């Protein structure tokens, strides 16, 4: 680089120290990208057993322009060293393993932002039911905050353990929670039909995710009881004040990234004529505006537009649109997000911004 | 070709003469492929205003190995000449235009197999509601047969006007009709959530269907009142013996071909325990087997397998699987088909086979 | 199937018995498809250690409409049983393993059509150089015929061991051999730059071939000494009558199927003006027509058209076009094929047709 | 946005004013993205006849999180107003049209960064030959600087008219120029074989670029005399000090973005043994390091790695790797870039950074 002026993307005086544990998967790679470029963050450690000793630029060549990528090396994951290196630690690890790291890091005073499922559920019995093993750290559940800033912003500010939501749950909860809280929809009979890109399956060498097995393929999977149901239903139950059970059908479609969710909802009061429909539409519109008009990462579509993942991939945005169907009496809601950004790493950085008191879009535009 | 022995794919003595009107789109191209290779068919005419005068091999080079493709030329569409050239005429034309050709061809004694929407509905008022113009030939509706061989095989045998079903309707009706007829599901509350490849939009030069606008894009469209609703609901109403209104949500996803439909159904009788669930499962299984066990183009999946469009693209098959969800009390049904084959041209050739008394898989394996 | 008339795709009296060894990969699956539908073939055995005991329809659901797919079961590969079951045996096995099966099958009197590299080279030293192990059956090399029907048709007719060419070699040799034999191009300085779909890598669970690693990715690989060089150069050397060394660069691109080769050739005599260019163009055109005008699977493009894999995928065709560049004095030749059909299984069936005296397009249109 | 602290991506005191003319295509859209987020830029105007009056957020919803996207509106292109609004003006217009805007903008004192071909060539006769019309502003050619910062950095610093290079030329010139200048390769016989994603064709509603016509398609086009040859050859001629004519073959492949170029070069001195090969390899390596080791956007690959577009898409990087082939005596060089970033808009912003004295990676990491 011929010039020597400091760039604005270099850490500034008020930078916080941050580490990433398990940075070799798709979410971990995206965290590296976001945090290398975050103007208020100093990325001090990234761990990967597989890549220990190599630089970030060697493993993720697309970050090679960033000077820090050529000096920062992957290390073996060691909680003691991590705790000394960083004030905030992101965990991009499989469920079960994440908790093992969270315990010593919290004890050492770090704030943990966990992208796994380990701390998303309040009820360890639900965890055991959906993840097929006992919860590895039930004592920590009480202090965990569900890291959906649009809903839990105040709690995230002071949290030491942030459980970043799953990709599907984010795409389903954001369009549903305001309506449920406002009593505009019935808590029963909710259906969420979702499409996901293949990065959602992770960087795993399995025949099912080979190019020739996914390209030109459309398929449902994980029905009728996908693991993400557990956190979706727990959050809906909290919002509704009564137990909520939903139908959730994920599909695998040939895109790298993106989730599109189509939600089938029943208005709390039926609309039998156009006057009722207009009134209901106005209340739905007002409900969404009240919830999201000032949210930088929620885009409420108006007019004829419907969400399209290509508008949100590469961003931390969720697009939401809705339609009342007078023929069936249902409310249809559509949402689109990038499963690796708003559905994982982008949302985790958004929580970091909240926790640090930074403007929430810092490093995410 | 060095050898001069006749190949078995050449027309045989008992061949029927067949013409295709409007053979330049994706469905028309596929009809050409199927009929060139059909061992009981002599393809005598293909029409296209755009390509008149050129050979099939020039316009569709992938058929160039077939000797007939190098002698058969596209002609201007002329009903008189068509009626002299062919006993069966396939119409692969836009709605409205198809009827204009059907009238003289039927008058001249041809059997017409229409791939457009013009003769799928029994009620011309429904046609006007969904297609925004008066029906162009309401007098013909009474003689039209809905060309779904698994349902209307007997009527197709003697029909002079066969209205080949739409792509979405085929994928939705085949899994739904047997259950509805058997009274196993409620006729109300049906939801069909479908994904379609881009060939469904036709070979139209519009920005929305450019590679870069579709690749890495997922989006719903045509909600809440897509045109195909009209024929789906009419057929469901006939099967249920009472008016049926459904929810239908089509999505555009980046594959060339294929439709995957996910259906949300309510069992007529709820299942509250595993005994009831087992009993219901047995009745559903028996219902599907009674309907489709001997159908060559319906594949009932068992065990853990779920439909995948890559298993049916390039074939005339529909795959069907189902799951009872004890958590929600719903029945989920999944189907996969090739939108251009079982969803259009393959099914039309299947109807031809029925009408001619040929084995139904002739030319379709 | 409601009708009981025999379909023409059922085996006919003069059918030959055929077996496939190693039928679980992409080439094996395509062989199953072609041979199930071949009107002169009775497919008597398919082997797969992985799938032994299961029916073809269970493993390859897209063939489920074919009655034979529901009765034919995969078996363990046993040369004795195979020799009793079939007159012709296709080997779709890794190199090295194929030869182990060829030995006993040939001894038992079968004709072997091998899709591996084991018998493509006449010189076992070249095999050892490129495949990193000694040739497993050097005594058989003398009787092997290179299974490129457009070149070795006469020898294939009476061959007992047919070595079906590789996918890249087919796409490079067919456009090059006639020019080389006619002395129209120099045998030195040939460059072949090829693009291949991902099915060429086989159905292997490796991270490099995951959807997210291939989609939206373009990369060269295997440079500068890919294994296929050995058979390309051996065939070019035979045609030129002098040693030929070429440059070959394969690339992996995100399509399921297809190979596009761009060849950079030096005309034997330079063309300095338009008269010389016209004369050369005429000789090239005549050379290609003499070689291929009557070949059912070679399509010589004229006018402005250039080969496009989408025109040949799903067919056994090779498209060829060429351009003289007066600015550089070079001859550019382009070819397109389906790597699994003309590049593998289709070509193997074409050789079967030749060996059996069937019309060469039988089962391949 | 709940917080009111200023974000670092907001314009800073030393911000320069910038406008974009013709911001509705793929390159224009990417310019908007880069310049909205550039910490030293205030984007004051974006023009589009088609979208005049609408906000950037309405037309490009993926930028909706950025506050400026909701206030900045597209305007009709008016040189007077543009000159008052901006110190730097980017032209993302068709060739021919770009020059019409450049004339008054330069006269008004703006610095123009033109992404079209209008000012890339020094010789107006070459322009007329390749673009089929007379050059619209030949008097301006003398002051234009070819906007390849790695080569013309010093001239860009003081340029008023910067002609940003084409996508293919960038991918071919960066790997070739250092070798040519160092006399390591012959200036004759160069072949460039390139693959491009479909965004290179622009957002044009043409059948050839529909999803179903590009997906699963591989094809060459524009041979043998693509327009980009003109600027490639002019730059190579300048570097070689003698006329250079090259072979250039572009191919269209189904990715949204990315160019992969494979170059076939002849070393100036042949290498007949491993000592000579080692010596030559050392000189090539040193040549590339001298040219690019300190360049932030050129990544020289070492070891076994070869360029892959997925490593550079979304970045302003070019990856370069090379191989000596002892069998053919050739030098193979491979490069990968994002055609819309380093191949267009990213490189244009890089030139802006140079012209403004900003660190060159500002806004591009």
Across chain B, mean pLDDT equals 95
What's the pLDDT score for residue A328? 97
| Mean pLDDT in residue range D234-241 | 97
pLDDT exceeds 50 at position C6: no
Contacts of C186 (CB under 8 A, 6+ apart): C265, C266, C267, C268
Strand partners, D25: none
Residue D10's pLDDT is 47
At residue C8, does pLDDT exceed 70?
A: no
- How far is Cα B191 from Cα B264, in angstroms, rounded to an integer? 5
How many Å apart are CA A158 and CA A176, to the nearest integer?
Answer: 26
Distance between CA atoms of residues D182 and D268, nearest Å: 10
- Active-site positions of D read 167
DSSP state of B282: H
Whether the per-residue pLDDT at C3 is higher than 90: the answer is no
Q: What confidence category does residue C12 fall into, taking pLDDT thresholds of 50, 70 and 90?
A: low
Dihedral sign of CA atoms B47, B53, B57, B60 in order: negative
Strand partners for A31 = none
Give the span between the Cα atoms of D138 and D143, in whole angstroms. Answer: 10
- Respond yes or no: is residue B167 known to be catalytic: yes
Q: What is the pLDDT of residue D9?
A: 47
DSSP, collapsed to helix, strand or coil, labels residue D280 as helix
Would you state the torsion angle of the CA atoms of residues A98, A101, A107, A109, taken in this order, to the nearest 10 degrees? -90
Q: Which of B356, B351, B338 is nearest to B42 (CA)?
A: B356
Residue A363 Rama label (left phi>0; alpha psi -120 to 50; beta):
left
Sign, Cα dihedral of A79, A81, A87, A91: negative
pLDDT value of position C9: 47
How far is CA B50 from each of CA A354, B30, B74, C206, rounded to the nearest angstrom?
Answer: 61, 17, 9, 47
Residue C11 has pLDDT above 60, yes or no: no
**Strand stretches in C221-329, DSSP E:** 247-252, 259-265, 298-300, 318-325
From the list A198, A205, A215, the residue facing C206 with the nearest CB is A205
Positions of E strands within chain D: 16-21, 41-47, 74-75, 88-91, 111-114, 144-146, 161-163, 191-196, 219-220, 247-252, 259-265, 298-300, 318-325, 330-337
Say how many C-beta atoms besides its own lie within 10 A of residue A158's C-beta: 10
- Mean pLDDT along residues C227-236: 97
DSSP code at position B169? H
pLDDT at C1 over 50: no
Averaged over A230-235, what is the pLDDT? 97
Residue A238: which of A354, A120, A96 has the closest Cα?
Answer: A120
pLDDT at D8 over 50: no
Instruction: Give CA–CA dist D308/A278, Å, rounded.
Output: 53
Say whether C141 sits in a helix, a strand or coil: helix
Q: Tokens standing for D58?
A: 């309405």
Least confident of A1-10, A170-179, C141-150, C182-191: A1-10
CA distance A62 to D316: 9
Q: Which residues of chain B are at the A interface, by a Cβ-Cβ cutoff of 8 Å?
A: 191, 193, 195, 197, 213, 215-221, 223-225, 245-247, 249, 251, 253-260, 262, 264, 306-310, 313, 323, 325, 327-328, 330, 332, 334, 336
pLDDT in tens, C60-89: 999 999 999 999 999 999 999 999 999 999
Note the pLDDT of residue D23. 86
As to burial, measured by CB atoms within 10 angstroms (0-12 exposed, 13-18 middle, 19+ buried), residue B122 is middle
Confidence (pLDDT) at D11: 46
Q: What is the pLDDT of residues B139-164, one digit of tens each?
A: 999 999 999 999 999 999 999 999 99
Going by C-alpha positions, the residue among D143, B358, B155, B154 that lies closest to residue C7 is B358
pLDDT one-digit tens code per residue, A31-51: 999 999 999 999 999 999 999
Residue B108 makes CB contacts below 8 A (sequence gap 6+) with: B79, B80, B83
Q: Do C310 and D213 touch (CB under 8 A)?
A: yes
What is the mean predicted confidence (pLDDT) over B180-205?
97
Strand order in the sheet with D219-220: D219-220, D247-252, D191-196, D259-265, D330-337, D318-325, D298-300
Interatomic CA distance for residues C352 and C357, integer angstroms: 8
Count the Cβ atoms, other than its own, within 10 Å of residue C123: 14
Query: Which residues lie across from A68 on neighbouring strands?
Result: none
- pLDDT band with cut points at 50, 70 and 90 for residue B1: very low
Give the mean model confidence (pLDDT) for residues B307-311. Answer: 97
Q: Do B218 and A249 touch (CB under 8 A)?
A: no
Which string of DSSP letters, residue by residue, matches C307-318? -BGGGTTTSS-E
Question: Please, what's the b/e burial string for A14-43 (b: 16 or more CB within 10 A of its CB; e: otherwise)?
Answer: ebbbbbbbbbbbbbbbbbbbbbbbbbbbbb
Distance, CA of D154 to CA of D75 (rounded, Å) = 34
Q: What is the pLDDT of residues B228-258, one digit of tens each?
A: 999 999 999 999 999 999 999 999 999 999 9
Give the end-to-end CA distance of chain B in Å, rounded to a whole number: 24
Whether residues C3 and B294 touch (CB distance < 8 A) is answered with no
CA A152-A157-A159 angle, to 5 degrees, is: 85
- Strand pairing category for A247-252 and A219-220: antiparallel
Active-site pick, B110, B167, B214, B287:
B167
pLDDT tens digits, D348-363:
999 999 999 999 999 9
- What whole-number distance in Å separates Cα of residue C7 and Cα of residue C299? 31
pLDDT for B47 beyond 50 = yes
Q: Can you tell me the distance from the alpha carbon of D129 to that of D116, in angstroms, rounded to the nearest whole number? A: 16
Strand-pair category, D219-220 with D247-252: antiparallel
Model confidence band, residue B3 (pLDDT cutoffs 50, 70, 90): very low
- Report the alpha-carbon distance of residue A224 to residue B326 in Å, rounded: 9
Whether the Cβ atoms of residue B211 and residue B257 lie closer than 8 Å to each other:
no
CA-based nearest distance B288→chain C, Å: 16
Please tell me the distance in Å from C315's CA to the nearest CA on chain B.
Answer: 7
C-alpha span between A249 and D242 (Å, rounded): 65
Task: In chain D, count H helices and then E strands.
Answer: 12, 14
For residue D267, what are the β-bridge partners? Answer: D185
Residue B291 has pLDDT above 70, yes or no: yes
pLDDT at B23: 86
pLDDT at A1: 34
Closest CB from D203, D216, D255 relative to B210: D203
How many angstroms separate the CA atoms of D329 and D265, rounded?
9
Residue listed under structure tokens 């990967």? A48
pLDDT at D12 over 70: no
The HSE-up count of residue C242 (CA atoms within 13 Å, CB side) is: 6
- Chain D contact set for A313 (CB, 8 A): 62
pTM above 0.90, yes or no: yes
Determine contact, residues D62/D37, Cβ cutoff 8 Å.
no
Q: Which of B3, B64, B359 is closest, CB to CB, to C5?
A: B359
What pLDDT score was predicted for residue C14? 76
Grouping H, G, I as helix, E, B as strand and the rest as coil, residue A323 is strand
Asked whether the predicted pLDDT for residue A11 surpasses 80, the reply is no
How many whole angstroms from its chain centre is CA D135?
21
For D135, the token pair is: 């050059």
Q: What is the pLDDT of residues A317-355, one digit of tens each?
A: 999 999 999 999 999 999 999 999 999 999 999 999 999
pLDDT tens digits for range A87-113: 999 999 999 999 999 999 999 999 999
- Nearest Cα neighbor of B266 from B326, B331, B328 is B331
Please report the beta strands in chain B, taking only residues with DSSP state E, as ranges in sequence order.
16-21, 41-47, 74-75, 88-91, 111-114, 144-146, 161-163, 191-196, 219-220, 247-252, 259-265, 298-300, 318-325, 330-337
Percent of chain A scoring above 90 in pLDDT: 94
Q: Among D6, D65, D346, pick the best mutation site for testing chain A contact (most A Cβ within 10 A).
A: D65
Which backbone phi and psi does D133 adopt, to 5 degrees? -155, 160
Q: For residue C328, which residues of chain D lie inside 8 Å, CB to CB?
A: 224, 245-247
- Top-confidence residue, D22 or A23: D22
Interface test with A, best of B207, B218, B245, B327 (most A CBs within 10 A): B218
Confidence of residue A23 (pLDDT cuts 50, 70, 90): confident
Is D40 in a helix, a strand, or coil? Answer: coil
Residues of chain C in contact with residue B61, where contact means CB-CB under 8 angstroms, are 299, 301, 305, 311-312, 317, 319
* Cα distances (Å, whole numbers) of residue D38 to B23, B295, D225: 52, 62, 38
CA nearest C6: which of B138, A187, B8, D44?
Answer: B8
DSSP strand E in A48-168: where?
A: 74-75, 88-91, 111-114, 144-146, 161-163
Which tens digit of pLDDT belongs to each residue from B57-67? 999 999 999 99
> For residue A12, is pLDDT > 90?
no
**What mean pLDDT do residues D137-149 have?**
97
Query: What is the per-residue pLDDT for D225?
Result: 92
User: Hunting for tokens 């500002």 — which residue is that?
Assistant: D362
Residue B13: band (very low, low, confident or very high) from pLDDT cuts 50, 70, 90: low
- For residue range D33-74, list pLDDT tens digits in order: 999 999 999 999 999 999 999 999 999 999 999 999 999 999
For the stretch C155-182, pLDDT in tens is 999 999 999 999 999 999 999 999 999 9
Residues D314-340: what's their mean pLDDT? Answer: 98
Question: Is the pLDDT reported for residue A56 higher than 60?
Answer: yes
- For residues A65 and A99, what is the distance between their CA atoms, to the nearest angstrom? 34
List all chains that touch chain C, counting a touch as 3 or more CB pairs closer than 8 Å: A, B, D
Please work out, in degrees rounded to the nearest 5, the angle formed at the alpha carbon of residue A52 by the alpha carbons of A49 and A57: 125
Res D4 pLDDT > 50:
no
pLDDT of amino acid B83: 97
pLDDT at A14: 76
Round to whole Å and give the CA distance between A304 and C345. 49
């Amino acid at each position: 680089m011929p010039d020597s002026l400091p760039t604005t993307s270099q850490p500034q005086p008020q930078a916080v120290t941050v580490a990433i544990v398990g940075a070799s998967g798709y979410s971990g790679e995206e965290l590296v990208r976001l945090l290398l470029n975050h103007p208020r963050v100093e990325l001090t450690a990234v761990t990967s057993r597989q890549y220990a000793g190599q630089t970030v630029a060697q493993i993720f060549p697309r970050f090679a322009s960033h000077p820090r990528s050529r000096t920062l090396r992957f290390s073996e994951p060691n909680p003691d060293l991590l705790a000394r290196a960083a004030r905030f630690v992101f965990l991009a690890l499989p469920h079960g393993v994440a908790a093992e790291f969270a315990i010593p890091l919290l004890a050492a005073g770090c704030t943990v932002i966990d992208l796994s499922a380990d701390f998303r559920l309040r009820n360890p019995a639900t965890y055991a039911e959906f993840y097929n093993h006992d919860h590895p750290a039930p004592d920590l559940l009480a202090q965990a905050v569900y890291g959906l800033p649009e809903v839990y912003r105040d709690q995230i500010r002071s949290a030491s353990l942030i459980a970043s939501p799953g990709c599907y749950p984010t795409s389903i909860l954001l369009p549903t929670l305001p309506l449920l809280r406002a009593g505009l929809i019935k808590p029963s009979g909710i259906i969420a039909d979702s499409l996901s890109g293949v990065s959602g399956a992770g960087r795993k060498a399995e025949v099912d995710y080979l190019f020739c097995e996914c390209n030109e393929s459309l398929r449902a999977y994980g029905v009728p009881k996908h693991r993400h149901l557990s956190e979706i239903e727990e959050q809906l139950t909290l919002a509704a004040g009564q137990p909520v059970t939903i139908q959730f059908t994920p599909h695998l479609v040939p895109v790298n990234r993106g989730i599109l969710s189509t939600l089938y909802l029943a208005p709390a009061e039926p609309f039998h004529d156009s006057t009722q429909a207009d009134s209901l539409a106005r209340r739905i519109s007002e409900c969404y505006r009240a919830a999201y008009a000032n949210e930088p990462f929620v885009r409420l579509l108006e007019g004829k537009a419907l969400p399209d993942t290509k508008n949100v991939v590469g961003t931390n945005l969720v697009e939401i649109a809705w339609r009342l169907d007078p023929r069936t009496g249902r409310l249809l809601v559509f949402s689109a997000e990038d499963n690796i950004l708003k559905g994982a790493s982008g949302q985790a950085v958004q929580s970091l911004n909240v926790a640090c008191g930074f403007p929430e879009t810092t490093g995410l535009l």
